[in-house]
């Protein structure tokens, strides 16, 4: 009886072990061949997590401008190990400081940027050599001037610098520049700049280089006397006709050489304004990427898809009120809109292009995911339909004899 009891216990233990191994075997098998489970994304987040992280496109969004597909598709073959360089055009009070920190501290890189405490700049080298892939405030500093605009950057880093080099074998000729920037609602940006200037900011060391020279004091008069404009009221800020805060986004994105730089007598004012606006639109559209301060998650999404670079932590949407916490009446807002009429038109254009690019990319990804899921389901069904003799080892639980053979081997 004792021997029979021991035999029964051994068989029971063996059976339980076989069941346990079988369950583990099936779990592993299901993980690899189960339908609809391959929902991973290059960012390391699951597809469902991606859907939760980024806003759903508005199905009722009405397009204002027509953009062909080639203008909506922004997926570049950015080669960090090659000669590609991201150039960040940082417009004041558009959230560029936060975005610039994202670039040096929050991108998942093979060789992360080296940001040391107490230092203003980080070292962002390529994975294969000691050469930077990022031209920005927090990586190279203000190398082309404080808050350099499109005119300055393209002459400092792009064609202008290339033309100054007679030797085409120089490394600058090999570099490929990808320009990026951020825009912000003009009223919010204007009020934010006023508050910043009110606290003592001036940006008076900006060069404003154009056609090889800086503007004369007559071309670019100052709005204040003394070292800064601290304590100025909003009315004083709006009353200065030379205030560079007016239409700053258009001016910093346009090719100023088209209108004689800062020489206001070069062409009539109305013609100058139209040329600047059209130039800013074109340059913005042709940039590798631009984001909008009011849409942080969408900005993150489009940057990641454009450069195939992933951020470690998601962007956060902070104060989204138009006045940025500043109490202003409707008449004042209308006055700011008039002073920034070109910026208002540019932002309207940029917002529509931005939303269309976001919708296009999200819809494209959803379509690709549906095709992928359908193919996986068809593959799973075709495997189930194979002759029994070809699938009996895959489609049924392992037998006791088979599992005993495995256990003996272990």
What is the Cα–Cα distance from 373 to 361, expressed in whole angstroms?
A: 18
Phi-psi region of 209 (alpha: psi -120 to 50; beta: other; left: phi over 0): beta
- Identify any residues that bridge with 91 across adjacent strands, giving them in sequence order: none
List own/partner pairs for 19-26 with CB under 8 A and 24 or more apart: 21/398, 21/403, 21/406, 21/407, 22/397, 22/398, 22/403, 25/398, 26/397
Active site residue 196: no
Q: Point out the catalytic residue in the list 90, 102, 147, 208.
A: 147
Q: Count of CB atoms within 10 A of residue 358's CB? A: 24
Phi-psi region of 308 (alpha: psi -120 to 50; beta: other; left: phi over 0): left
Are the C-beta atoms of residues 192 and 324 closer than 8 Å to each other? Answer: yes
Q: Count of CB atoms within 10 A of residue 382's CB? A: 9
Q: What is the dihedral of CA 149, 155, 159, 164, to 10 degrees?
A: -170
Q: Is 183 helix (H, G, I), strand (E, B) or coil?
A: strand
Annotated catalytic sites, by residue? 147
């Amino acid at each position: 009886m004792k021997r029979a009891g021991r035999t029964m216990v051994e068989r029971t233990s063996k059976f339980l072990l076989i069941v346990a191994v079988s369950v583990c075997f099936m779990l592993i098998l299901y993980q690899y061949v189960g339908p609809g489970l391959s929902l991973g994304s290059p960012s390391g987040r699951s597809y469902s997590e991606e859907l939760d992280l980024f806003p759903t496109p508005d199905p009722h969004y009405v397009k204002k401008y027509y953009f062909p597909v080639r203008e909506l598709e922004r997926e570049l073959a950015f080669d960090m190990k090659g000669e590609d360089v991201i150039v960040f055009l940082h417009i004041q009070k558009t959230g560029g400081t936060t975005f610039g920190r994202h670039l040096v501290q929050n991108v998942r890189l093979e060789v992360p940027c080296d940001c040391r405490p107490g230092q203003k700049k980080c070292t962002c080298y390529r994975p294969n050599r000691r050469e930077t892939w990022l031209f920005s405030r927090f990586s190279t500093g203000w190398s082309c001037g404080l808050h350099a605009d499109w005119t300055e950057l393209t002459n400092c880093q792009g064609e202008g610098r290339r033309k100054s080099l007679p030797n085409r074998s120089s490394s600058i000729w090999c570099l490929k520049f990808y320009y990026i920037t951020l825009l912000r609602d003009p009223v919010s940006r204007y009020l934010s700049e006023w508050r910043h200037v009110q606290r003592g900011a001036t940006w008076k060391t900006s060069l404003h280089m154009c056609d090889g020279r800086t503007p004369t004091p007559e071309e670019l008069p100052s709005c204040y006397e003394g070292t800064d404009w601290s304590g100025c009221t909003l009315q004083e800020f709006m009353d200065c006709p030379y205030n560079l805060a007016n239409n700053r986004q258009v001016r910093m994105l346009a090719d100023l050489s088209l209108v004689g730089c800062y020489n206001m007598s070069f062409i009539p004012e109305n013609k100058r304004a139209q040329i600047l606006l059209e130039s800013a639109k074109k340059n913005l559209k042709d940039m590798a990427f631009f984001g909008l301060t009011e849409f942080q998650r969408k900005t993150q999404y489009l940057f990641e898809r454009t450069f195939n670079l992933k951020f470690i932590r998601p962007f956060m949407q902070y104060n989204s009120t138009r006045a940025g916490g500043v109490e202003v009446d409707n008449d004042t807002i209308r006055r700011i809109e008039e002073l920034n009429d070109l910026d208002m038109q540019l932002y309207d254009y940029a917002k529509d292009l931005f939303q269309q690019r976001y919708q296009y990319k999200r819809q494209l990804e959803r379509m690709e995911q549906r095709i992928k899921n359908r193919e996986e389901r068809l593959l799973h069904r075709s495997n189930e339909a194979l002759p029994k003799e070809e699938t009996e080892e895959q489609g049924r639980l392992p037998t006791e004899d088979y599992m005993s053979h495995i256990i003996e081997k272990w």
